Amino acid sequence: MLIQKEFLGKLGEKDIFLFTLVNKNKNYVQLTNYGASVVSIVVPDKNGMKENVVLGFSNLEGYLKDKCYIGATVGRFANRIANAGFKIDNERYFLEANENNNSNHSGASGFHKRIFDYEIKNDSVSFSLLSKDGEGGFPGNLQLAVAYTWNDENELLIEYNATTDKKTIVNLTNHSYFNLSVGRENILSHELNIASGKIVETDEHYIPTGKIVDAGNKKFHHNSIKEKLIITDDKAIGLNDCYVIQPNSEAPVCEVLEKVSGRTMSVFTSYPGLLLYTGDFLESSVDGYFGRKYQPFDGFCLECQYYPDSPNHANFPSTILDVNEEYNEFIKFSFGVK
Query: What's the domain count of the chain?
Result: 1
Predicted local distance difference test score (pLDDT) of residue 249: 84
Predicted local distance difference test score (pLDDT) of residue 39: 98
Q: Which residue is catalytic, options 135, 191, 255, 303?
A: 303
Residues lower than pLDDT 50 in the chain: none
Contact 148, 157 (CB under 8 A): yes
Predicted local distance difference test score (pLDDT) of residue 232: 77
192 contacts: CB under 8 Å, gap ≥ 6: 220, 222, 223, 224, 225, 254, 255, 256, 276
Q: Which residue is catalytic, options 175, 190, 255, 329?
A: 175
Contact 77, 171 (CB under 8 A): yes
CATH no. for residue 289?
2.70.98.10
Note if the bond before 92 is cis, omega within 30 degrees. Answer: no
Q: Determine whether 303 is an active site residue.
A: yes
CB atoms within 10 A of CB 95: 21
Contact 207, 309 (CB under 8 A): yes
CA distance 15 to 74: 20
Full-model pTM = 0.97
Range of the domain at 135: 2-337
